[in-house]
Amino acid sequence: MVFADIIIDISVKSLDKTFQYRVPEKLENEVETGSLVLVPFGNGNRQLKGYVVNLTDTPRFDISRTKSITGIEKQGVPVESHLLSLAGWIKKNYGASMNDAIKAVMPVKKEVREQAVRTVFPLMDKEKLEGFAMQFEAKHNTARARVLRCLLGLNGEMYYNGVDYNYITKELKCPKSVLDGLGQMGIIKTGAAKKYRNPALLEGNPAHRAEERHVLNEEQQYITDTVLSEYSDGIRNTYLIHGVTGSGKTEVYMNIIEGVLSYGKQVIVLIPEIALTFQTVNRFYKRFGERVSVIHSRLSAGERYDQFIRAKEGLVDIMIGPRSALFVPFKNLGLIVVDEEHETSYQSETPPKYHAREVAVQRAGMLGASVLLGSATPSLEAYYRARKGIYRLFTLKKRAGGAHLPKVHIVDLREEFKNKNYSVFSGKLTALIEERLKKHEQSVIFINRRGYAGFISCRQCGESIGCPHCSVSLKPHMHKGVVDRLKCHFCGYEIPVPDACPSCGSKYIGTFGIGTQQVEEAARKLFKGARILRMDADTTGGKEGHSKILSQFANGGADILIGTQMIVKGHDFPNVTLVGIIAADLSLNAGDYRAAERTYQLVAQAAGRAGRGNKKGEVVLQTYQPAHYSIVHAANQDYESFYKQEISVREMLQYPPVSNILGVLVFSENEESALKLASVISEIAEQYQDVTVLGPADAPVAKAKDIYRKMVYGKCMDYGTLCSVKDCIEAFKEQDTEYKDCGINFEFNIIR
Ligand code: ADP
Ligand code: ZN
Ligand code: ZN
């Protein structure tokens, strides 16, 4: 007998309460997690709809009193139900409780007060309003004319629903007296509009909407035509656009979006939170107007919920946002764009630890939508699939608008050390910055902080001490305030800290890391009188700290901008002609199998910041490993060659995307208990012939807030097998009584 746990009402309040029903035999093949079913409810056995969130063969209650599901609700499956099936899929593929999975796909429901926004409305149709506008212009009654022009919009689509009062009085500088005058003439009225706020509108600016459209170049046109002709033929696909930064990917997205919208479909555009700047949103806004909206973390929960409702009610056609925007309940989803598809922020950090790219492909598949991925530095996953023909690959080879790729100088830091230059600025970088200061051009100094968490390396030869089994670097472990051992976070291998470099014998080994502050101090000493801005977690406090610094720099408010990966993403600084990368290979020591991939991405993206305007750019790439393939190919922006080398490493070591890895995190206040459970888990995994088990080992963060964290890894070619391993571990944990003090989390294909 099969039993179903059912959520009767979808309002979030009752999400945690499920009711159990029997699945009648005739429905056993049809009912699945996420199904919308009809059930008798309460004393009167009212027929209500409910969602199946779990299927089990162990009843929770007395079977004789358990009611049966009446039937499956087939008519017009509401969007929530498909999101529920998506939640079911996420649960199955990433390991999480159904509640967590549902929470991931549902917007937080908040009681929101409807906001009354003071608004100026037109009281006549477009032609009449146009007539008045021309009259006022003829009489040089410019303030009145400005109000009417604003209401008329720039693209001939009038704002019948009105325009924000504050915008007109403050931004357009048309005082109340002007509005009163127009009101007395019966042309407009002022009043409160009850409406959901559109954050894109608040950030953007309705009167400045002007189409900014380029004639596509041949490569851009080819991609647009191919995708749209497949779309019109009913073919749905996942496409990957590989194009260097500035090659015009966004322009292509917008043209494809325009085509998809013409079928009455809606579009989700995912961008990494960090790239979600005013400029990005504004660019879409200028092209598509009021029907663009945006979701981001600076909005309140209520505002975010508003955006979901607006989307559901069909008031929005394009939703832009980070990972969570993926779940916007559009009725007619036609396309999901995932820009900068390689970004780590697409991977959820809390369970379910899903990857937005994978979920996008799944959701699109469920709804008959297409997916468009784009990146200058594609993830190995996406490129691997594109090469296998699972995704369709397009390439943009040139920079759009004629800008050139920068010239890259590689500086060997070991040589600097030999020549007794102990500064973080090499001779070459110093000279080129000085040149920029003379020419009044800007420089960006990028500090690669990924992997800074600590590793031991040699200042003479640049080698870091790695695990002989896993090709990742060993992490120092502190004992009573001193580093006493080095450990592999993957397999548990450990050694005492050596006195000298195992490669060259130098005594100059130690933990190595440079902070932004240190670089700023050095820069102030070296470049007297230069205007220097620093951007890192400390200087970007507050809601707008981030964009404030960037716009100050973009407006020429400084000569040198120093920062971490934050400054690399998506920003266009036309006057930046020099990018310096302080230690390009720091991220090679990140201790995970993606280290080379991340390094390639960071270096290539950073280099891509130079010379985006008319002036030619230069890049200085300082590194201890000038011959490492990730550095060499990034310097040449040669992704193809990088990919070939990297994928052969993954093949050799059976790392994703060639194979798959399931990580099981075991955590507990009691270290012994965590370690024991981890051993049990590794035994469970070892039952599977095709699964290679590694660990138990300390997690990358071995102890946090007094909770001990252990990891077990299982490697297997087949993802499905790893899902079964996960299910088996889950089932064990559910019925277990010995390890009640331990918790477990799953993660697929991530090692942090
Ligand atoms: P990406 O998204 O690949 O970084 P963008 O779409 O932002 O590239 O384009 C980079 C710059 O080139 C932008 O300023 C854009 O307006 C401009 N651009 C894009 N396509 C064209 C084109 N066909 N002709 C001229 N300029 C273009
Ligand atoms: Zn050495
Ligand atoms: Zn190891």
Ligand nearest to the CA of 510: 2
Instruction: Identify the residue whose C-alpha is closest to ligand 1 atom 11.
Output: 246
Q: Do residues 119 and 190 make contact, with C-beta atoms less than 8 angstroms apart?
A: yes
**pLDDT-based confidence at residue 374 (cuts at 50, 70, 90):** very high
Give the nearest ligand 1 atom to 243 CA. 3
* Ligand 1 proximal residues by C-beta, below 6 Å: 214-217, 220, 243, 245-251, 400-401
Q: Which of 211, 251, 271 has most ligand 1 atoms within 8 Å of CB, for mutation? A: 251
Beta strands at 266-270 and 318-321: parallel, antiparallel or unpaired? parallel
Whole-number pLDDT of residue 223: 98
Query: How far apart are the CA of 622 and the centre of ligand 2, in A?
Result: 17
Q: Which of 461, 469, 513 is nearest to 494 (CA)?
A: 469
- pLDDT(185) > 80: yes
Ligand nearest to the CA of 711: 3
Ligand nearest to the CA of 591: 3
**pLDDT-based confidence at residue 77 (cuts at 50, 70, 90):** very low
Query: How far apart are the CA of 634 and the centre of ligand 3, in A?
Result: 27
Ligand nearest to the CA of 470: 3
Of 211 and 426, more confident: 426
Q: Are both 407-451+516-649 and 660-749 of the same fold?
A: no
- pLDDT(703) > 90: no
- Work out the burial of residue 503: count CB atoms within 10 Å of its CB; fewer than 13 is exposed, 13-18 middle, 19 or more buried: middle
Give 456-490 pLDDT, tens digit per residue.
778 788 788 888 877 677 877 777 767 778 888 77
Rounded Cα distance between 346 and 375, Å, is 13
Give the nearest ligand 1 atom to 216 CA. 23
Whole-number pLDDT of residue 433: 96
Per-residue tokens: 160: 């019948």
Of 560 and 302, more confident: 560
In the sheet where 46-56 sits, what is the strand order? 19-23, 2-7, 46-56, 36-41, 71-72
Mean local confidence (pLDDT), 150-166: 77
In this structure, which CATH number among 3.40.1440.60, 3.30.420.40, 3.40.50.1100, 3.40.50.150 belongs to the domain 2-105? Answer: 3.40.1440.60
Instruction: Identify the residue whose C-alpha is closest to ligand 1 atom 6.
Output: 248
Query: How far apart are the CA of 424 and the centre of ligand 2, in A?
Result: 19
Give the nearest ligand 1 atom to 217 CA. 23
Mean residue pLDDT across the chain: 84
Amino acid at 518: Q
Rounded Cα distance between 560 and 650, Å, is 38
Query: How far apart are the CA of 570 and the centre of ligand 1, in A?
Result: 12
Whole-number pLDDT of residue 523: 93
- Work out the burial of residue 192: count CB atoms within 10 Å of its CB; fewer than 13 is exposed, 13-18 middle, 19 or more buried: exposed
Rounded Cα distance between 369 and 328, Å, is 14
Of 546 and 541, more confident: 546
- pLDDT(504) > 50: yes
**pLDDT-based confidence at residue 428 (cuts at 50, 70, 90):** very high
Give 200-249 pLDDT, tens digit per residue.
554 434 445 555 688 999 999 999 999 999 999 999 999 999 998 778 99
**pLDDT-based confidence at residue 583 (cuts at 50, 70, 90):** confident
CA distances from 651 to 295, 657, 688 (A): 39, 9, 21
* Domain 660-749: assigned CATH number: 3.30.70.600
Ligand nearest to the CA of 457: 2
Give the nearest ligand 1 atom to 254 CA. 6
Whole-number pLDDT of residue 11: 46
Helix (H) or strand (E) holding 598: helix 595-607
Mean local confidence (pLDDT), 49-74: 84
Rounded Cα distance between 279 and 275, Å, is 9
Of 399 and 283, more confident: 283
CA distances from 133 to 148, 161, 176, 189, 433 (A): 6, 18, 18, 16, 53
Give the nearest ligand 1 atom to 572 CA. 14
Mean local confidence (pLDDT), 374-397: 95
Query: How far apart are the CA of 284 and the centre of ligand 1, in A?
Result: 13
Strand spans (E) along 340-488: 370-375, 392-396, 407-412, 442-446, 456-458, 475-479, 482-487
Rg for the chain (alpha carbons), in Å? Answer: 29
Give the class (CATH, top level) of 407-451+516-649: alpha beta
DSSP 169: I
Torsion sign (Cα): 208, 210, 216, 217: negative
Per-residue tokens: 56: 């089990």
Whole-number pLDDT of residue 550: 78
Whole-number pLDDT of residue 717: 94
Q: Is 503 helix (H, G, I), strand (E, B) or coil?
A: coil
Ligand nearest to the CA of 403: 1
Query: How far apart are the CA of 245 and the centre of ligand 1, in A?
Result: 9
Instruction: Identify the residue whose C-alpha is closest to ligand 1 atom 25.
Output: 401
Instruction: Identify the residue whose C-alpha is closest to ligand 1 atom 21.
Output: 400
> Which range among 246-250, 325-329, 544-548 shows the weakest confidence by mean pLDDT?
544-548
Instruction: Identify the residue whose C-alpha is closest to ligand 1 atom 23.
Output: 216
Give 327-356 pLDDT, tens digit per residue.
998 989 999 999 999 998 899 988 899 999
For the ranges 296-300, 370-374, 623-627, the maximum mean pLDDT occurs at 370-374
Ligand nearest to the CA of 465: 2
Q: Which of 45, 46, 44, 41 is nearest to 6 (CA)?
A: 41
Rounded Cα distance between 595 and 586, Å, is 9
Per-residue tokens: 272: 């990494």
Whole-number pLDDT of residue 108: 58
Whole-number pLDDT of residue 390: 96
Q: Does domain 205-401 have CATH number 3.40.50.300?
A: yes
Mean local confidence (pLDDT), 708-715: 92
Query: How far apart are the CA of 461 and the centre of ligand 2, in A?
Result: 4
Give 604-641 pLDDT, tens digit per residue.
888 777 766 667 889 999 998 899 999 999 988 899 99
Query: How far apart are the CA of 616 and the centre of ligand 1, in A?
Result: 17
Domain ranges (residues) in the chain: 2-105, 124-186, 205-401, 407-451+516-649, 454-512, 660-749
Query: How far apart are the CA of 458 and the centre of ligand 2, in A?
Result: 5
| Those residues with Cβ within 8 angstroms of residue 109's Cβ, 6 or more apart along the chain or in another chain | 11, 12, 305
Give the nearest ligand 1 atom to 570 CA. 4
Query: How far apart are the CA of 566 and the centre of ligand 3, in A?
Result: 31
Largest CA distance in the chain: 89
Query: How far apart are the CA of 252 and the centre of ligand 1, in A?
Result: 9
Instruction: Identify the residue whose C-alpha is closest to ligand 1 atom 20.
Output: 248
Beta strands at 238-243 and 692-704: parallel, antiparallel or unpaired? unpaired
Whole-number pLDDT of residue 466: 82
Whole-number pLDDT of residue 196: 54
Instruction: Identify the residue whose C-alpha is closest to ligand 1 atom 5.
Output: 248
Give 82-135 pLDDT, tens digit per residue.
788 888 899 889 988 776 787 788 765 554 555 667 888 888 888 889 999 999
Query: How far apart are the CA of 474 and the centre of ligand 3, in A?
Result: 8
Of 525 and 463, more confident: 525
Instruction: Identify the residue whose C-alpha is closest to ligand 1 atom 10.
Output: 246
